[in-house]
Structure 1
Amino acid sequence: MKQWVFAFLLLIPFLANAQNFEDKWRGHFSFVSVKDISQGNNKVYVGAENAVFKYDLSTQQIETLSTINGLSGNFITTVHYSEIFQLLVIGYDNGLIEIVKDGEENILKVVDILEKQTIPPDRKRINNFEEYNNNLYISTQYGISVFDLSALEFGDTYFIGDGGSQINIIQTTVQEPYIFAASTTNGIRRAIVADNNLIDYQNWTTIMGGGYRAMEKLGNELYASNNANAILRFTPQGNTTIVQTFSSQVQKFRLAADILTITTKNSIHAYSEGFVQQSSITNVQGYELDLFSGNSFGNNFYLGTAEDGLLIVPFGSSQPTQILPNGPIRNRPFALDAAPGELWVTFGEVDVDFNPYPLSRFGISHLKDTLWNNIQYEDLSAAVGGEPTDLVEATINPANQSEVFISSFEKGLLKIVDDSPTILYDETNSGLDKAIINGVDAGIRLYGSEFDNQGNLWFLQSKTDEGLIKLTPNGQFQKVDISNIINPISELALTKLVISREGNIFFGSYSNGLIGYNPRTDSFNKLGKGAGAGNLPASGVRALAFDAQNRLWIGTLNGLRVLYSPGSFFEQGVTPESQAIIILENGVAQELLYEQSITDIEVDGSNNKWIATATAGVFYLSANGQETLLRFTIDNSPLPTNNVQDIAIDPFSGVVYFATTQGLVAYRGTATAPNDNLENLHAFPNPVRPGYHGNVTIDGLTARANVKITDINGSLVFEETSEGGSVLWDTTAFGKYKVRSGVYLVLVTTDDSAETKVSKIMIIR
């Protein structure tokens, strides 16, 4: 009876159109890891880790689809293109299905499986799609669901395990009059495909026992791969013959143009009817095969690799063509640093307790203008003659953008010049020493770093008394002993580092709160948890940022604090106290970001604050924190997850980059750094055309510039003092009503009244 109720509920389509964010956002997803490949309409459809790209075989053009276009950003497991209905169907690990129709922007989200309460969350994975007679048979971890492609609605769901239990179906195929279902542990079962009562598990017959990785028809025969990677040819009656055995794991079976493609971990093979091998590949020039998926048609293999994107190799050849959209090397960015026109991304991983093991061996990515340059880990190692594992922080030299320093939480400090690794500073060639804890080598665990206004790079080393280090412009290492303020040996990690306008150094820790150091007096102080000790909400400080008013914003694992007078931090006999920001919410006083796990804080050109969290997305706050200007989550933005690890802001373009645990996205912000003069004053969009409902940005301002906007008769409609390099005008007269069509004058005067400039904005209603 429960089966009938479930099937009835699935008849109700739970469909929603996804929002497109292309006007304000840009995606920077990695497409190197290809999970599945489909084809049709002279295109190849490639499901990468959590985004999709289409490759046009005629024009050789690439089109990408990601959260920017409305995809979920979850982990893709399978894709299928229906030529009959011109639909691309995408299946996910969490049970979500998304449907993209050719020529249409809207993406249809099918959430029936995802939201079904009677299926455990760990049994909703979409394994495969099989199209037959206008229906899509969906192989899942719980059984089989049927989706009507013509009506875009669910039909029945089949629980075909013993007694109607849920079993993991890896693949289905239809060979009339039967439908066959291969399970990972419960054999191969068949039923009459035209049977109107397939919901009854008793109508399914087990014809072969054991576990299977894949199954597909070829001509009048059926083939399956068992868990021992043997390829079996079998009949509906259960007679089997082993026709091939592979030494590496079988990944997928795919059928296209009467060719069966069998992909293993390190090879791909094409067979015609009768299991006649047409071609196979066990190696290609320039690549070490590590495959997740594959397909073949038109005498070409299409290889879905784990790290190299899509490779196209003609039958009988070993010469590949790589098809890979521009993007970073991974979809799990750990840390960012931005400078005008560029961004550096690291992918090293430590957990919340700063455990670096198992050591990560990932390269780094550099975005300059619109192009990514990816430096593979093997190239890093070869260039510096070492193993720079766990690269956790990038710091661009503000005086020389071509010079970047990368902190390794295990091996030292990596220097890159003009995109080329030049040296790995470690115990063999610098003043850095390994930390030895109870006789155990803990490596050189570097983390937070920042340049001061003298060109010195300050950075932190955990697990050593001399944990604060300065690298001078001439290459000298100078160490500061921090053991008088904390016990660095017992401290798990020193975290973020920032420098005040006076040149004082502040850094966070895992369990000792906030530590400050005054280089001029060689003195320390610190903030701890609780009233009287510094008033931090937690001892773990993960995020620090000085704003334009020299106030220090502190993000902890359990909330936010602000140090309003960091200049008095080192006064003798004074225990500084940080303050919570209290806001009114529905008339009730609340602590801002109460108990939120804050991962990063960044200050933009308008002195507003971007705050990243581990579970609640991103908050954009006014300069004093009293107003939430924007809030981005997976529900209202292209963030692929609410776990945001880092933020970086391009100071001149205002673009804000978000590093999430499922990819990198960028928001076209409007707050830019102040200019030295008004030479680059401009407004956009200009003209403001009918149908535009956003703000006009007046950019190219100096700090604290006075901006007045008048109509052509001189009547004032807007006035504001800039915080950074830009201000926003909502095209109203002081917020009362939208101004009429016409030309409006922008009059800008610098803070010292030394320079004045006039610009024009045309409004067309």
Structure 2
Amino acid sequence: MRLYNKTNFMRGLLLAGLMGLSTAAFSQLGTGQWRMHVAASQAVDVAFGDGLAMAALKTGVIEYDEAAGETKIYNDQNGLSDILISCISYDAGTKSFFIGYDNGNIDQLYSDGSIVNIPAVKLASIPGNKRINSFTSKNGKMFAATGFAIIVLDPAKHEVKDTYNPFSVPKNYQSVVFLDDSIYALHNDGMVKAFANNPLLGNPNNWSVDTRVDVPALDVSYQKAGVCNNNLYVWAKKETYGADSIMKVTSGGLQEVIGHQFNMEIVNFQVVNNKLGVSFSDSYLLFNEDSSIYFGIPSYSNPAPEMRAVAYDGTNYWVADHKNGLVKYDTFGTSKIISTEGPPKNDFFSINGHDGKIVVTAGTIDRVSLSFSLPGAYTMKDEDWTLYDKSTQSLWSSGVWDIGTAAINPKNPEEVALGGYCLNGLSIVNGSEITQLYGASNSILENTALGNNMTCITGLDYDDDGNLWIVNAYSSKILKVRTADGNWYAMSNNPLISNAYASELAIDYNGNKWVGVYGKGLMGYKDNNTISNTSDDIIRVMQTGSGSGNMPSDNVTALAVDFDNEIWIGTDNGLAVLYNSDGIFSTAGTTDVSRILVTYDGNVEMLLGNSYISDIEVDGGNRKWIGTAESGVFLVSADGQEVISNFNKDNSPMISNAVLDMEFNHQTGELFIITDNGMVSYRSDATYEDPDYASTTVFPNPVKPDFSGPITIQGIKYGSEVKITDAAGNLVYKTTSNGGTATWNGKRITGEEVSSGVYFIWTAPTEGKGKKVGKVVVIR
């Protein structure tokens, strides 16, 4: 996050309660509600039935009703029970779609949108792999091939009917298919079979090994099976790229029908339209059984698609595309990408924001090695997303990857700085276009001391004058600046931190810079407002040990500056605060940081103990939102003496407890939370003030009988005493605004619900004259 000018940094408070779930547009997201940000990309499977095309995404399902022209996304915020989807299949008998998950969970999604969860596999006390690899519908049953056994489901009763374990020990079953009077189950090392109508298939003795599918070589595993025109086929995957095969199961064993002559990697195999459907790395082909090509779906996008699966509706082919999501392809060669609202991709690493605009980096920066990730970055303003990646930016055609940090220029929000670990580590965005690239060849940025000829930019922040401050990791001078007029300066350096890895960057209200240096502690830098003159600069380095800084750890993982100009420091071993942040530069030696001590059940403990702190955000009420690597998000009081709430996967719509980064949209009060499983957000009651009352709104209005959440008054002056009166002027309720927002629970001061009527809202700020700011209609 970046810091705002203190005179404009209005205060607020986030509501700690959970009020419901939503995936609608933000204008419909109520205070206390959550939503999940899912891109209609990274599709892994697809199914068609009852006029609906359903594509399984990494964290949701996209539904497309072609007749109605309507698109909908389901995720765990609006009905699905889980995330990390593995497969999807249609059951014609119940007109429902079965959705499988990596952890064994199963959802049954009906055409009318209702969803039934079948959690038996997920909840089973079985160690190891429970992944649902595929579904097969047969004779009113749904067969799930899982990572340990074959599960038989009753679609009408939403329950597990039986479990088949042909070996008495777990096997990773990939497919269940039927041919003639037999059931076949393919696992990574072979195939088993049994008489399909045997009522005792739960007994391993009623299964036998199909010796036609011999035990594969050590570098080969079986991945899928299918039946086409009364013939049985399996996909054999080899570790060598491009050496996979589709094999026909014959009386004499396996016979290759589609092999490595195409020199392309097979990513999936299925039977589609009575043909052998093969997904290659960038195309999809349907083969006749004589190995001739029947039909092909070529590349239809740039960059090339990654077609993972196809469903056929009798006329059109529906593609699960890992790059583009759900795609319709007809027999005339016309393709249509089914677009939805939301981020361009499902890759999230870091987030920053300013004045209602956020920027998300989709790559990653690893301290140890390069990952060469190419997802790029995206911005969002007023729910409109803009993608910056290799396909949209000509300057990124080569030499740019691992984009992991970003900042927005407060003097010109159209300018965004993006940092990465690559040949040209700094990119400057103007509007929708990247206009400048900087690296060691055209600026004072340095390549790393590691000898890899790469520039590693791990931290970016603009100050209030529009100067861009840059953390240039692994360089002789890790802190650099590009001024608003385009000049470059390298700041002085303490030899202790030269050539070290540094990442976290914050600028306080006195203009001092704070940089977290891995293994070296926290650097404070005072340039005395003379950027071009480094001779008067002061550097302090705080490390572990009393008198040396007393840091919890020398590995700084998060930084934030609060309203009192105190520096909140997160490490991989807990939390600390530097209270006298400016005084450290005016005294000799090093000032120690402080651990916050709290009383819990009569015991004095350190706040959050030795938790790995991944991010710290300060809300408008000076409260701290602390993200952790394992325990979700904590909301603590301004001084840290009280833990107000802990949002985690067990008690909230958080999709993971591993928080990577967070950021507020202070205009709306929405807190964006990036986790290792994706991004969610929570609409709080924290917003900046509107001293002119030009944007005052009350919502919902009217308040209908079925509404149970808070009534929100937004766009008022900071520190207002808010009073609610009835039409006769009688006081009904009073509260104090949190920054520019106050909430009312719809009850009287005494706790009873108010009756139907019109209620007036008055504010009286701590300074200045009060005024009536609105009214709300309550219907009981």
Normalised by the length of structure 1, the TM-score is: 0.89
Measured against aligned partners, the alpha-carbon deviations of 1:200-229 in whole angstroms (never above 9, x if no partner) come to 223223332235332222333333333464
Residues 81 and 87 in structure 1, CA contact (< 8 A), matched pair in contact too: yes
CA distance in structure 1 between the partners assigned to 2:552 and 2:360 by the alignment: 30
Q: Which amino acid aligns with 1:307?
A: K
1:387 positional shift:
1.6
Name 1:645's counterpart in structure 2.
660
* Counterpart secondary structure, 1:377: coil
Q: 2:246 is matched with which residue: 211, 219, 231?
A: 231
Counterpart-to-counterpart distance in 2, 1:506 and 1:283: 48
Tell me the residue number matched to 2:521: 513
Counterpart in the other structure of 2:745: 730
| Aligned CA distance change for structure 1 residues 413 and 73 (closer, same or farther; 3 Å) | farther
Alpha-carbon distance between aligned partners in 2 of 1:616 and 1:432, rounded to the nearest angstrom: 37
Given that 1:218 and 1:258 are in contact with CA atoms closer than 8 Å, whether structure 2 keeps it comes out as yes
Unaligned runs of 5+ in 1: 1-18
C-alpha displacement of 1:472: 0.9
CA shift for structure 1 position 316: 5.6
| Alignment-derived partner of residue 196 in structure 2 | 193
Q: Which residue among 226, 230, 250 is the counterpart of 1:220? A: 230
Which residue of structure 1 lines up, in the alignment, with residue 166 of structure 2? 160
Structure 1 residue 149 corresponds to structure 2 residue 155: yes
Aligned position for 1:206: 209
Deviation at 1:40? 0.5
Match of residue 313 from structure 1? 329
The answer on whether the counterparts of 1:334 and 1:646 sit within 8 Å (CA) in structure 2 is: yes
Asked whether the 8 Å contact 1:707–1:721 carries over to 2, the reply is yes
Counterpart residue number, 1:575: 590
- Structure 1, residues 384-440: CA drift from partner, whole Å, max 9, x if none? 675222211110111211110011234321100002000111122222222334xx2
Aligned match of 1:399? 411
Cα distance change on mapping 1:315 and 1:669 into 2, 3 Å: same
**Is the Cα–Cα contact under 8 Å of residues 544 and 553 in structure 1 kept in the other structure?**
yes
User: How far is 1:277 from its partner?
Assistant: 5.7
- For residues 246 and 768 of structure 2, what CA distance do their matches in structure 1 show? 82
Counterpart for residue 373 of structure 1: 386
On the 8 A contact 2:407/2:417 being kept in 1, the answer is: yes
Counterpart mapping for 1:404-419 below 5 A: 404-410=416-422, 411-419=424-432
Per-residue deviation, residues 470-528 of structure 1 (Å, max 9, x unmatched): 211111111111225x3322x3x212211121211122221222221121151122332
How many positions carry a matched residue from both structures?
731
Confirm or deny that 1:296 pairs with 2:312: yes
Other structure's SS at 1:537 match: coil
Q: Contact (CA 8 Å) 2:171, 2:187: kept in 1 or not?
A: yes
Structure 2 CA distance for partners of 1:536 and 1:142, relative to 1, 3 Å: same
Q: Summarize the alignment of residues 510-659 of structure 1 with structure 2, pairs less than 5 Å apart.
A: 510-520=518-528, 521-573=536-588, 575-659=590-674
Aligned to 1:6: none
Larger mean Cα displacement after TM superposition, 275-284 or 340-349: 275-284
Secondary structure, counterpart of 2:122 in structure 1: coil
Give every structure 1 segment of 4 or more consecutive aligned residues whose post-TM-superposition deviation is greater than 6 Å: 272-276
CA offset at residue 712 of structure 1?
Answer: 4.3
Q: Give the equivalent residue in structure 2 for 1:10.
A: none
Amino acid at match of 1:383: L
Question: Paired residue for 1:4?
Answer: none
Cα distance, 1:583–1:479 mapped onto 2, change above 3 Å: same
Selected match of 2:138 from 121, 132, 149 = 132
More relative contact order, 1 or 2 (CA 8 Å, 6+ apart): 2
Q: Does 2:105 correspond to 1:92? A: no
Provide the rounded CA distance (Å) in 2 between the counterparts of 1:226 and 1:448: 46
What is the alpha-carbon distance in structure 2 between the residues aligned to residue 165 and residue 385 of structure 1? Answer: 50
Against the structure 1 CA distance between its residues 171 and 539, is the aligned structure 2 distance closer, same or farther, given a 3 Å change threshold? same
SS at match of 1:482: coil
- Residues 391-540 of structure 1 mapped to structure 2, 5 A cutoff: 391-410=403-422, 411-437=424-450, 440-441=451-452, 443-484=454-495, 486-489=496-499, 491=500, 493-520=501-528, 521-540=536-555
- SS of 2:585's partner is coil
Counterpart in 1 of 2:180?
A: 176
Task: Establish whether residue 388 from structure 1 lines up as the match of residue 400 from structure 2.
Answer: yes
CA offsets 1:662-683 (integer angstroms, 9 cap, x no match)? 2122212221012232233332
Alpha-carbon separation, structure 2, partners of 1:301 and 1:413: 42
Match of 2:219 in 1: none
For 2:316, give the aligned amino acid: N
In structure 2, C-alpha distance between the alignment counterparts of 1:585 and 1:101, rounded to whole Å: 48
**Structure 1 522/689 Cα, relative in aligned 2: closer, same or farther at 3 Å?**
same
Checking the alignment, whether the CA contact within 8 Å between 2:671 and 2:683 is kept in structure 1 is yes
State the 1:595 CA deviation: 1.6
Q: Percent identity?
A: 29
> Which residue is 2:259 aligned to?
245
User: Residue 56 of structure 2 contacts residue 320 of structure 2 at CA under 8 Å; is this kept in 1?
Assistant: no
Query: Can you list the C-alpha shifts for 1:311-350, whole angstroms capped at 9, x where unaligned?
Result: 3222363x42222433334323111112334321102213
Deviations 1:223-245 (A, max 9, x none): 3333464434446x666654443
Distance 1:427 1:189, change over 3 A: same
For the residue of structure 1 that corresponds to 2:319, the secondary structure is strand
Deviation at 1:372, TM superposition (A): 2.0
Distance 1:471 1:589, change over 3 A: same
Structure 2 unaligned regions, length at least 5: 1-19, 24-28, 217-221, 238-242, 529-535
Mapped to 2, the partners of 1:689 and 1:344 lie a distance apart of: 36
Q: Matches of 2:302 and 2:461 in 1, distance apart?
A: 39
Contact 1:750 1:756 in 2 (8 A): no
Residue 679 (structure 1) aligned with residue 694 (structure 2):
yes
> Is the 1:21–1:638 Cα contact (8 Å) retained in structure 2?
no
Q: In structure 2, how many angstroms separate the alpha carbons of the residues matched to 1:329 and 1:285?
A: 15
Matched residue type, 1:220: N
Q: Deviations over 1:85-133 (max 9, x none)?
A: 122211122222222233244x433333223333x32x22211111111
Distance 2:213 2:762 in 1: 81
| 1:700 aligned to which of 699, 715, 728 | 715
Paired residues of 1:633 and 1:641 also in contact (CA < 8 A): yes
> Per-residue deviation at 1:754?
5.2
CA distance in structure 2 between the aligned counterparts of 1:230 and 1:251, rounded to whole angstroms: 11
Give the drift of 1:249: 3.9
TM-score, normalised by the number of residues in structure 2 = 0.87
- Offset from partner CA, 1:611-631 (integer Å, 9 cap, x none): 211111122333333444443
CA distance in 2, matches of 1:284, 1:498: 44
Greater CA drift, 667-676 or 281-290: 281-290
Shift of 1:692: 2.6
Q: Aligned partners of 2:481, 2:289: CA distance in 1, in Å?
A: 69
Query: What is the Cα-based RMSD across aligned positions, in Å?
Result: 2.7
